[in-house]
Structure 1
C-alpha cells in the first residue's frame, strides 16, 4: 500500500469489528435473525484466531508507520515522501 495510514486504519477497524463480534452478542443476534443460530457454538473457533490475526496486523501497521516516520527527511517542499 502506498499510504501507510490506510493499512493502519483498515487493521484497526477490522480489529474493533471482530472484537465486537467476539465479546458482545452482536453475532449471535445476527445469526438468530438469519436463522443460523445453530452456528453460534462454533463462532469462537473462527473469531478468536481472526482476532489474533487482526491484532497482529495492527501491530505490524503501527511498527511500519513508526519506522517510516523515523526515516523521514524533509525535502525542499516539506512534504513526506
Structure 2
C-alpha cells in the first residue's frame, strides 16, 4: 500500500472512527462511508494539512457541490497530482 493511502486511512479512522478494513482505494466516500458535505470539507482541510497541499476553492466546489471525488482512489490521484505540481 502506498503512503498517501495509509495516511488517508489513518485520518478517516481517527476523525470518523471507520475501521481500517472498511477503507480501501475503491471505497466511495458518500455511498459507503456516508460522508456529507460538511464532513468532506473537514476531510479536505485535514488532507491539505497532512499532505502540505492547497486545494483551490474551485476544486472544493467541484468535490463537494458536484460530487467529483467519489472514491478514496480519486483523492489519492488528486493529492499525487498536487504534489507533482508543487515540486515542479
TM-score (norm 1): 0.33
The structure with more helix, counted as a fraction of residues: 1
TM-score normalised by the chain length of structure 2: 0.31
Larger Rg: 1
